Structure formats: C-alpha cells, structure tokens
C-alpha cells in the first residue's frame, strides 16, 4: 500500500509540522501526495484555521480539503475514543483502516501520509492504539519526536514498540522543541541507539525544508 504512517513519541511533538514540510518537499519534486488524518480530537470549529487538518490542506494546496482529510473531528482535547464517546459516537479501527486503504488506492503512484493522533501507543479506539492501525495497514512508520529533555528515552521506547510489532521504521525525525537542549547534541546522543534507522532534524528557527527526508523516502522501495 503506498502509504506512510506519521506517528510520534507523544502529543504535540511536531507531527503536523513535519507532515506539512514533507508534503511541500514531495510536491516540489513532482511527487503525487495526499494526507489523511483518521481522527482528530481537540478540534474547535471556531478556530479551524489553526487545526491540523487545515494546515495539511494548505500544504497540499487544497484549502477546502479539511473535511476530506479529517472525516472524524471531535471537540474535546482528549484521546479520540473518549472525545468521540462524549459526542455519542464509538470509533472502530476497521472503519479507519478501510478509509485509509481506499484513499491510498485512489492515489495510484502517489503517496498517502496517514497522520495518527498522539503517540505510537496512544488509544484510537476503546481497545486499539495507533500501533494497531500501523500494523493493520502494513505501512512503514515515520516516527516524530521533540528535542526536549527526556526525548531520547521516549524515542527508544517508541522504537521498541514499533519493532516488536514488526512495523517498518522509515525514518526518525527530531522536531525542535522550544527551550530545549541543543538539537544537534540531542541527535548525536540519540544516533548510536537507533540501530540503523535514518535520523533527520527539523529545526524551528526558519521554515524547515524537508528535502533530504523527501529524497530518502522517494528512494525507498515502495510498499505494495
């Protein structure tokens, strides 16, 4: 399946920042790319312009694409299963997987970025996590982390979970956190523990050009 699952070590580590930069870099190289966010919680319709789906739509050049990108949107800033329950709904993993597969199939030779909610082990439904969706899709994972103190442990823990589930790790991206240790020093400390997973850095001082990440992904063998 021509899809890449963008996951994280936790919430608010920069998944959408990385996804948007990657979309722009892929489009600049003539690649066909689309985005899908199976479920969004903490969505305020009155402040939709700041939401992840609108940012993804803008990166795609599809300003009206929010509803297509994120069909399940809930107000409460809680795990998606709880936020959905507060609105009288129950989330099912099969439904989200079917939607993602259908979206990927429609791209033909393109790449679908499937952006999860929260971290690798964050619940999506009452009994399943982002990791369960990654394995159900059989899609490689792009693991995004912050550069805050403690991130090395979080990255390695997430990698253990992904690899235990036999999920392919396409790359790790360290998205710079505010008021955090030096980004390069963090990368140098983390690198020896990655067991071959490619590492990319996403600084915040200026808009990050994800060219190197895009080239790496385009050069990888495609998942059937």
Label the pairing between strands 169-175 and 199-202.
parallel
Q: What are the pLDDT digits (tens) for 175-193?
A: 999 889 999 999 999 999 9
Provide the whole-model pTM: 0.95
Domains of the chain: 3-151+162-219 (3.40.50.300)
The pLDDT of residue 220: 85
The pLDDT of residue 1: 53
Q: Which residue among the candidates 15, 27, 37, 166 is catalytic per the annotation?
A: 37
The pLDDT of residue 205: 78
Q: What are the pLDDT digits (tens) for 8-19?
A: 999 999 999 999
Q: Is 46 a catalytic residue?
A: no
The pLDDT of residue 117: 96
- The 3-state secondary structure of the chain, one letter per residue: CCEEEEEECCCCCCHHHHHHHHHHHHHHCCCCEEEECCCECCCCHHHHHHCHHHHHHHHHCCCCCHHHHCCCECCCCCCHHHHHHHCCCCCCHHHHHHHHHHHHHCCCCCEEEEECCCCCCCECCCCCEHHHHHHHHCCCEEEEECCCCCHHHHHHHHHHHHHHCCCCEEEEEEECCCCCCCHHHHHHHHHHHCCCCCEEEECCCCCCCCHHHHHHHHHCCCCC
For the chain, list residues with pLDDT below 50: none
The pLDDT of residue 207: 84
């Amino acid at each position: 399946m021509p899809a890449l699952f963008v996951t994280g070590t936790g919430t608010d580590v920069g998944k959408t920042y990385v996804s948007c930069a990657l979309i722009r870099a892929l489009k600049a190289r003539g690649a066909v790319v689309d985005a899908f966010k199976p479920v969004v919680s903490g969505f305020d319709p009155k402040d939709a312009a700041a939401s992840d789906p609108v940012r993804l739509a803008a990166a795609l050049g599809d300003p009206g694409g929010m509803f297509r990108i994120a069909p399940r949107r809930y107000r409460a800033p809680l795990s998606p299963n709880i936020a959905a329950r507060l609105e009288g709904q129950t989330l099912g993993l099969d439904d989200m997987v079917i939607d993602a597969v259908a979206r990927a199939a429609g791209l033909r030779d393109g790449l679908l970025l499937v952006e999860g909610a929260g971290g690798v082990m964050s619940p999506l439904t009452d009994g399943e996590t982002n990791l369960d969706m990654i394995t159900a899709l059989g899609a490689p994972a792009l693991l995004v982390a912050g550069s805050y103190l403690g991130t090395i442990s979080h990255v390695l823990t997430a990698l253990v979970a992904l690899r235990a589930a036999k999920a392919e790790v396409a790359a790790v991206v360290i998205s710079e956190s505010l008021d955090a240790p030096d980004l390069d020093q963090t990368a140098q400390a983390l690198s020896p523990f990655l067991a071959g997973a490619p590492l990319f850095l996403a600084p915040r001082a200026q808009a990050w050009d994800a060219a190197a990440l895009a080239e790496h992904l385009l050069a990888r063998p495609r998942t059937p």
